[in-house]
Amino acid sequence: MYTAARSHLDECPWRVIFGETEARTLVLLEHMTRIPALSWSCVANFRIAEVDGTPAAAMCGFSPGAGSVPHDPQPELDLARRVFAYSEAHLAGVSERLGIAALGMPRDLPDVWAIENVAVLPEYRGKGLIDKLFERVFQEGRDKGFMHVQIHCLIGNEPGLRTFERNGFRVVSQQTSAAFNDLFGAPGAKLLAQAL
């Protein structure tokens, strides 16, 4: 999740959102994988490609639910409060930054299978691992009765965009925000989709 979120950016957005060191951000992300309500980060929804027993690539397939409802940041705030006993002032900052993050993300499509948290460790890139994971996660979406699949890509992540397009995705919308750009160093994100 850390590698996927960082994308082409200087800093991982989760590190910026929580105002934490890399090590403490990784602890928070690990806890996020244990929250079933966060379907885009729940460990049960991840598929991992291993090479000689080493986790080398991963992606998460899930149903995002209603496309018109913005993400509720409460699970992340509750987690931060519980894990690191943040003060109310720190939590207010986290909440504000989560709100800014939402400004740069296109709304989910209705009735769609979703893929997020796509990443390959640098030493395993270019070996087709993501293509194989896409095949598997596409099939999971079909098996659940979905007709379409979507994925988000930060604007400026050209390698990610090429990978997604190579696997059949096409840009259907994008969302930009000056505040998002100021906070994370990217103008926003593109939403890509395709038929399953």
| CATH code for position 164 | 3.40.630.30
First to last CA, the chain: 24
8 Å CB contact between 143 and 196: no
168: left (phi over 0), alpha (psi -120 to 50) or beta: left
Q: How far apart are CA 193 and CA 58, in angstroms?
A: 19
Whether the pLDDT of residue 69 is over 80: the answer is no
Please, what is the average pLDDT of the chain?
Answer: 94
Q: What pLDDT sits at residue 75?
A: 87
Summarised one tens digit per residue, pLDDT across range 12-35 is: 999 999 999 999 999 999 999 999
Write out the residue range of the structural domain in which residue 189 sits: 2-195
DSSP single-letter state for residue 1: -
Total domains in the fold of the chain: 1
Mean pLDDT on 148-174: 97
